[in-house]
Amino acid sequence: MAGLVYYSSRSGNTARLMERLGLSSLRLGSGDPTVEASAPFVLVTPTFADGEGRGAVPKPVIRFLNNARNRGLIRGVIAGGNRNFGATFALAGQVIATKCNVPLLYKFELAGTETDIIRIRTGLARFWAAQESQTCLTQA
């Protein structure tokens, strides 16, 4: 299975979700724009949006995806947010999915629930299996 790349803000919600997932992952730092992915990955990110939806994608995630190598290896996105923000809940995921032409795989609130953990693990296993079978078909 390929990996996960994630960004977590000071609140630590995304980091807590990732810890509970227990899957191989690479954490993006706030100030290090040189992080490079070495294999296909799913990006996990929180949403930072104002009331109008501006600024939804965290700046470290934007810097990471501005690297053409990283952008070329993204296969999907999982986004977090707070349902109290209504229409902008997990908006970063939709923005990234659209700009990078990848699927928005899942949305979770804050640090996620046990149900989210189960759904994300199960969904990722299915997603990577499908990706692998597509790769095998195109190589045959």
Q: Which residue has the tokens 């996105």?
A: 77
Q: What is the pTM of this model?
A: 0.89
CA 1 to chain centroid: 16
How many structural domains is the chain composed of? 1
CA of 138: how far to CAs of 15, 134, 135, in Å?
A: 35, 6, 5
pLDDT at 84: 84
Domain containing 84: what range?
Answer: 3-139
The CATH number covering residue 76 comes to 3.40.50.360
Mean pLDDT, each 10-residue run in order, the chain (140 residues): 82 91 87 80 90 83 93 96 86 95 95 94 93 63
Q: What is the pLDDT of residue 135?
A: 60
**Contact present, 27 and 6 (Cβ < 8 Å):** yes
